[in-house]
Structure formats: structure tokens, C-alpha cells
Homo-oligomer: A and B are copies of this chain.
Amino acid sequence: MFKMPSDKSKVIPNVFRETCPARYLLNKISGKWSLLIVDILNDKSMRNGELMRSIEGISQKMLTQTLRDLEEIRLIKRHDMKTVPPHVEYELTDLGKSLRETICAMDRWIEHNMLEIVTNNKTIDINISH
């Protein structure tokens, strides 16, 4: 459990220090599904089912769990319309939108360079979990 010192200016942000809040956040954000969720949540808000269909391979459990985590660190906002049947929308906060730019840059880099990495590599075995 991290205790924030009363004098916040004393907290030096550094992802390489394991007791730094930045490390905690990095671990949350770099989670297997977090990057994909933040990436796909564009300016539009999305519903649970939409996210399930957009992100191949994610389970309902992991989707909910990751959405809750991202909500906790204030990257997304949950809107419950309180209707029957239920209608819930998820959207990025301003903080989330700001972070999304860096995440998208990474994802697009991977997509752009994947062939160069994979096709020139004789030993690579790509395991598809199903």
C-alpha cells in the first residue's frame, strides 16, 4: 500500500522505482487488455457488447475487470442509463484521451512493422491462444 507523502513535491516520478506510483500505473495500463480497450475507445463511447465484439479473444470477465481498473485510475468513465434492459456506455476521460495518443502510436507502430519482424525471423513460432 502506497502512502502519499504530505509534501507532494517530494514524490519524484520514476517508473524504474518499484515504490513509485508511476510503476503501479504502468503495470495497470500495460496489462494485456488495457492497451486494446483504450485504443479502441475513440471519441465515440461504446457499449459492453460492442467492446466484446471489437476485441477478439477477450472474455466478459476480463472485459469487466479491465474496465473497472481503468475506471479506477480515471482513464474511462462509465455511464449507466439505468434502463431496462440495461444500457451502459463507456468513454475515455480527457486524461484517457491524452494517454490514448501514445498508446495508439505504439499499436500502429506494431501493425506497421509486424511483417518486417515476423517474416524475416525463421525461429519465431506464433502461438495463437484460443
Residues of A within 8 A of B (CB): 1-2, 4, 8, 11, 13-27, 29-32, 35-36, 39-40, 54-57, 72-74, 95, 98-99, 102-103, 105-107, 109-121, 123-130
Contact = CB atoms under 8 A, between A and B. Distances in A.
Q: List the 8 closest pairs (A to B, CB-CB), nearest first.
A: A2-B126, A13-B111, A18-B57, A102-B106, A18-B56, A102-B105, A22-B114, A21-B118
A124 B1 CA distance: 9
Given A21-B126, A72-B124, A128-B1, A36 B56 contact: no
A54 B18 CA distance: 11
A117 B73 contact: yes
A86 to B, nearest CB: 24
